[in-house]
């Protein structure tokens, strides 16, 4: 199965050349502020792409999914939107979650420690692909000032469940792929730190 991974397109996805594949994975921040009309436009763009399966989680910019969740989910028809839930697609088992450690006053923020750990405790064993918006500690999470800002509890969940792939974004400057203990970690942020959509989709083949 070929995964085509994007994140943090911020309403600029149509400017990106998206390779074909079996499953398109978008790890959040489709929009700038999560307005319903922006979500509708970006969902239409995702539906226009040829991939048979499309998995999406929300990001910290996608406010409507937290503020008006029923209405926002209705805009995602034809896509597989995951919020602390799983799906079987193309023979692979996915789990998706939008949360990240508290960062200013954005959507889907939780304090580090017990609050966010409770979300990662929901991740089941036996999944193939974990999709979150934020990164785990030590993978694709180094910001420009040099700090590692990923979530230690999320890393613990990855080590506990052992997915073959973990796709995320959020930290634009962390774009790229790393590997640990048989899991490939993919920071698929499309926009750079200046919100220019210059970091191409990352393509992975999963046997």
Residue 110 is predicted with a pLDDT of 97
What pairing do the DSSP bridges indicate for beta strands 176-180 and 183-187? Answer: antiparallel
Distance CA 198, CA 207 (A): 29
Model pLDDT, residue 92: 97
Bridge partner residues of 148 (DSSP): 142
Q: Please give the pLDDT value at position 103.
A: 82
Give the chain's domain count.
Answer: 1
- Residue 56 structural domain: 2-205
105 has a pLDDT exceeding 90 = no
Residue 207 has pLDDT above 90, yes or no: no
E strand intervals along 22-103: 23-26, 53-56, 80-81, 85-89, 92-97, 100-101
Interval 83-87 mean pLDDT: 98
Length of the chain: 207
Q: What is the pTM of this model?
A: 0.97
The per-residue pLDDT for range 115-129, each reduced to its tens digit, is 999 999 999 999 999
Task: Say which CATH number the domain at 193 has.
Answer: 3.60.21.10
Which element (helix H / strand E) includes 155? helix 152-161
What are the contacts of 66-70 at 24+ separation with CB within 8 A?
66/107, 66/108, 67/34, 67/107, 68/36
């Amino acid at each position: 199965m070929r995964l085509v991974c994007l994140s943090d397109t911020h309403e600029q996805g149509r400017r990106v050349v998206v390779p074909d594949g079996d499953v398109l994975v978008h790890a959040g921040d489709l929009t700038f502020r999560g307005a319903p009309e922006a979500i509708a436009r970006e969902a239409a763009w995702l539906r226009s792409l040829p991939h048979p399966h499309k998995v999406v989680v929300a990001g910290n910019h996608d406010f409507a999914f937290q503020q008006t969740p029923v209405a926002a989910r209705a805009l995602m028809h034809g896509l597989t939107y995951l919020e602390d839930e799983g799906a079987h697609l193309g023979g692979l088992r996915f789990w998706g979650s939008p949360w990240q450690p508290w960062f200013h006053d954005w959507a889907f923020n939780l304090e580090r420690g017990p609050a966010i750990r409770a979300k990662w405790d929901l991740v089941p064993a036996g999944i193939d692909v974990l999709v979150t918006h934020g990164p785990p500690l030590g993978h694709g999470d180094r910001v420009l000032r040099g700090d590692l800002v990923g979530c230690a509890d999320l890393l613990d969940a990855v080590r506990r469940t052992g997915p073959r792939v973990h796709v995320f974004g959020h930290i634009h400057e962390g774009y790229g792929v790393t590997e640990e203990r048989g899991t490939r970690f993919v920071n698929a942020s499309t926009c750079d730190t200046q919100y220019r959509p210059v970091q191409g989709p990352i393509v992975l083949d999963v046997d």
